[in-house]
Amino acid sequence: MITFDDVSLSFGRHELFKNISLELRGGKIIAVTGANGAGKSTFLKLAGKIIRPDSGEVKFPADKKIAVVAPEMKIYDNLTAIENLKFFAELRGKNLSAENILELGERVGLNLETFGNVRVENFSTGMRQRLKFAILLSVDADIWLLDEPTANLDDAGREKFFQAIQAAKFDKIILLATNDRAEVDICDEIIQLPF
Amino acid sequence: MKLFSSRFKQVVAILRKDFLIGMRQRATFAAMMMFALTATASLSLSTGGAFVEPKFLAALLWVVIFFAASAGIAGTFDDEATAGTLPTLKLYADAQAILFGKMIYVFLSLVALTIFILPIFLILFDEPTENFLLLFTTIFLGLIGLAAAGTLTAALTTSATVKGGLFPILLFPVTLPIFLPAISLTEISFTSAAFDMSSLIMIAAFDSILITASSILYDYL
Amino acid sequence: MNKILILLTAAIIAAIIFLVPPIKGLGDLAKIIFFHVPTAWVSVIAFFASAFFAAKFLRTSNFSFDKLSERAARLGFIFVLLSTISGAIFSKLTWGAYWNWDPRQTTIFILILIYGAYLTLRAAVADEKVRAKVSAIYSLLSILTVPFLVFIIPRMYFSLHPSPVLNSSGRIEMDSIVLIVLIAAVVDATLIFIQLMRRDFK
């Protein structure tokens, strides 16, 4: 569970959040929707303690790990797909075997037998996004923060992704910032911004 | 203990990743080496083989190392910030692991820089070094402090919007307690005069203070 | 408070001109020492004040401490420039050269570099939250050099600088009138610094 306790945050003179208190429970996919500039991405970052509020506090148990898929969270262009996967898994204390890697690729629809040793700089936007999902699935996080996750994906990619998060949601807190109809439809709960 | 070992694994992973990228994207490294070579060559050409006082030569060596290092390590965090990978790295790795991974990488690149430029420098200026052990120890200790202060300074300048020349301006005053004794020890190593152990101890002490302070202050960033 | 300070300052200037005997062989301009010593003192005090408020800011994230840290550094920078110039003039009169890398000249020069670096860093960071953090960290990093420089510099540079007021032998080698005026000037400069720090923060 993630708890917002009287959280306020402003950028310069613009008050984005004022005295927000709420609880986000696990086992569900929670959509965060709202117009551009309403603070969807910022809400996700607050929830993951990636940024601090000006006042108030965001709380979740210290042993909960976070994973994020967001446009500004880039992966390494001059490493190959497999090197990226292995690196991020290693940071979270996991050593991926060759089978693990192929299986992860399968789950997100990325053929790592062919593209595994290709540097990411040669990947299309959609392939990068699939690789980011593979990293997300590999790191065993308890809290997933997904910012417009399927914006660059084709229908097959979306379908794979929806399946993957539906299957994973039961022991996780999943926040999904989006205005996309199809993405909202798979969510169990909706938070509409601004509050 | 578990926390320590997981951090240690992260440090190793970051170090390995930086090496891989450094080998593939040689520009930073090449620029640092060429900067050192150009500086050394310009100094040597302008003195035209005339005798240069050991005291002056020792200072020149450290000036070359300082500015070449500045060129090489200013971008330690900038490269990742520009590529957009820094937020991802900060999310998945512990802050201290990032700091120490980068610091060790910076230190090793400075060692490589010195291995490259020191022989060239000594040959071009025709300087017969008397006490190699002292020279190596001095440079080794000096580079540790330079790496510690340089890594934190590089993290500070990453958020600056105006970068030109900022890094050496910030780094120089902070590393003066290393340079002053290091220059006199280097001079002594050229001339084989008796040296003062306390200067070496002081550089080592300042090194450890810089490492500790960087570690504490980085958490506030 | 302002009026008292103006009066005190005027009284000290009068005392320097009329009361203090001319310094042997150096002429009246040498009385600039009464300006040099207090400004040097304040530039060091301001350096520590800036670092103190920087630490306070990092602990509390209260931006008024950042403002205080910045103000102390700006004032310190002005005082260190005044002190360096007045010191160089006094140096020309007594040693015949404006600059000769005396330990204290070296120290004050490093202080100029640190103040300059700190203010450049502030100017270079646009985001005010980031600027506050980054400059506080630099302020604390730079103050670590002080004990080492105090130890190193006197060993490396030969000194011609007059002994401090209270030298190692503990004897005071000054006319009592000179000493009193000098101490009053230091106190006055410190009060002026404090008053400038308090402005707008009442």
On whether both A45 and A19 belong to a single domain, the answer is yes
Residue C8: other Cβ atoms inside 10 A: 16
Dihedral sign, CA of B10, B13, B19, B20?
negative
Contacts of C144 in chain B (CB under 8 A): 174, 209-210, 213
Which of A77, A177, A75, A159 shows the shortest CA–CA distance to A119? A77
* C202 has a pLDDT exceeding 90: no
Contacts of C114 in chain B (CB under 8 A): 173
Inter-CA distances, B78 with A11, A87, B7, B117, C1, Å: 24, 20, 23, 25, 49
Residue B15: other Cβ atoms inside 10 A: 18
> Three-state SS for A77?
coil
Q: What is the pLDDT of residue C117?
A: 95
Instruction: State ipTM.
Output: 0.91
SS (H, E, C) chain B: CHHHHHHHHHHHHHHHHHHHHHHHCCHHHHHHHHHHHHHHHHHHHHHCCCCCCHHHHHHHHHHHHHHHHHHHHCCCCHHHHHHCCHHHHHHHCCHHHHHHHHHHHHHHHHHHHHHHHHHHHHHHCCCCCCCHHHHHHHHHHHHHHHHHHHHHHHHHHCCCCCCCCHHHHHHHHHHHHHHHHHHHHHHHHHHCCCCCHHHHHHHHHHHHHHHHHHHHHHCCC
pLDDT by residue (tens digit) across B77-90? 988 888 899 999 99
Q: Tokens 């006199």 label which residue? A: B184
Banded model confidence at residue A183, pLDDT cuts 50, 70, 90: confident
Q: What is the pLDDT of residue C161?
A: 65
> Three-state SS for C165?
coil
Quote the mean pLDDT of chain A.
89
* Domain total of chain C: 1
Tokens linked to A81: 């797909």
Banded model confidence at residue B2, pLDDT cuts 50, 70, 90: low
Cα torsion B139, C115, C142, C134 to 10°: value is -110
> Three-state SS for A112?
helix
Q: Tokens 């120890």 label which residue? A: B137
> Three-state SS for A33?
strand
Judged by CB atoms closer than 8 Å, whether chains meet at B92 and A74 is answered as: no
Which run of H or E residues covers position C38? Answer: helix C33-60
Question: pLDDT over 70 for what percent of chain C?
Answer: 86
Residue C157: other Cβ atoms inside 10 A: 18
Residue A146: other Cβ atoms inside 10 A: 25
- Is there a domain that residue A52 lies in? yes
Q: Is A94 on the interface with B (CB under 8 A)?
A: no
On whether both A83 and A59 belong to a single domain, the answer is no
Dihedral sign, CA of C133, A143, B10, B110?
negative
CB-nearest partner of B9 from A76, A77, A90 = A90
d(CA B173, CA B153): 11
pLDDT by residue (tens digit) across A41-63? 999 999 998 888 888 999 888 88
- Is there a domain that residue C54 lies in? yes
CB-nearest partner of B173 from C123, C136, C145 = C145
d(CA A67, CA A143): 6
Q: What is the pLDDT of residue C174?
A: 61
d(CA A41, CA A18): 16
* C58 to chain B: closest CA residue: B220
- Is there a domain that residue C191 lies in? yes
pLDDT by residue (tens digit) across C99-112? 888 888 888 888 99
DSSP one-letter code for C149: H
- Cα end-to-end distance, chain B, whole Å: 25
- Is there a domain that residue C79 lies in? yes
**Residue B49 phi, psi dihedral angles, 5° rounding:** 80, 0
A28 burial type by CB count under 10 A (0-12 exposed, 13-18 middle, 19+ buried): middle
d(CA C118, CA B161): 15
Pairing of strands A189-192, A28-33: parallel
- Each domain of chain B, given as residue ranges in start order, spans 11-218
- Is there a domain that residue A156 lies in? no
- Is there a domain that residue A46 lies in? yes
* B217 to chain C: closest CA residue: C137
- Is there a domain that residue C21 lies in? no
Q: What is the pLDDT of residue C171?
A: 47
* Domain total of chain A: 2
CB-nearest partner of B10 from A66, A73, A91 = A91
On whether both A57 and A85 belong to a single domain, the answer is no
d(CA A179, CA C153): 64
- Give the structural domain span for C57: 2-11+29-162+171-198
Judged by CB atoms closer than 8 Å, whether chains meet at C138 and B156 is answered as: yes
Contacts of A139 in chain B (CB under 8 A): 92
pLDDT by residue (tens digit) across B24-62? 888 888 999 999 999 999 988 888 778 888 889 999 999
Question: DSSP strand E in chain A: where?
Answer: 2-11, 14-24, 28-33, 55-59, 66-69, 143-147, 173-177, 189-192
Q: A57, A97 in Cβ contact below 8 A? A: no
- Is there a domain that residue A180 lies in? yes
Touching C (3+ Cβ pairs <8 A), the chains are B
- Give the structural domain span for A195: 1-64+143-149+165-195
pLDDT by residue (tens digit) across C151-201? 777 777 766 666 554 444 444 556 677 788 888 888 888 888 888 888 765
* C150 to chain B: closest CA residue: B177
Contacts of C140 in chain B (CB under 8 A): 213, 217
> Which CATH number belongs to the domain containing residue A58 in this structure?
3.40.50.300
Instruction: Give the distance from CA A70 to its chain's centroid.
Output: 6
Contacts of B9 in chain A (CB under 8 A): 90, 93
Sheet holding A14-24, edge to edge: A14-24, A2-11, A55-59
A-to-B residue pairs, Cβ atoms closer than 8 angstroms: 51
Residue A180: other Cβ atoms inside 10 A: 15
What phi-psi label fits residue A37: left (phi over 0), alpha (psi between -120 and 50 degrees) or beta? left
- Give me the residues paired with residue A5 across strands: A57
- Is there a domain that residue A84 lies in? yes
Q: A100, A69 in Cβ contact below 8 A? A: no
Q: Is A106 on the interface with B (CB under 8 A)?
A: no
Mutate to test the interface with C, among B171, B217, B218 (most CBs of C within 10 A): B217
Question: pLDDT over 90 for what percent of chain B?
Answer: 64
- C23 or C141, greater pLDDT: C141
User: Which of A125, A141, A157 is at the close of a domain?
Assistant: A141
**Residue A185 phi, psi dihedral angles, 5° rounding:** -60, -30
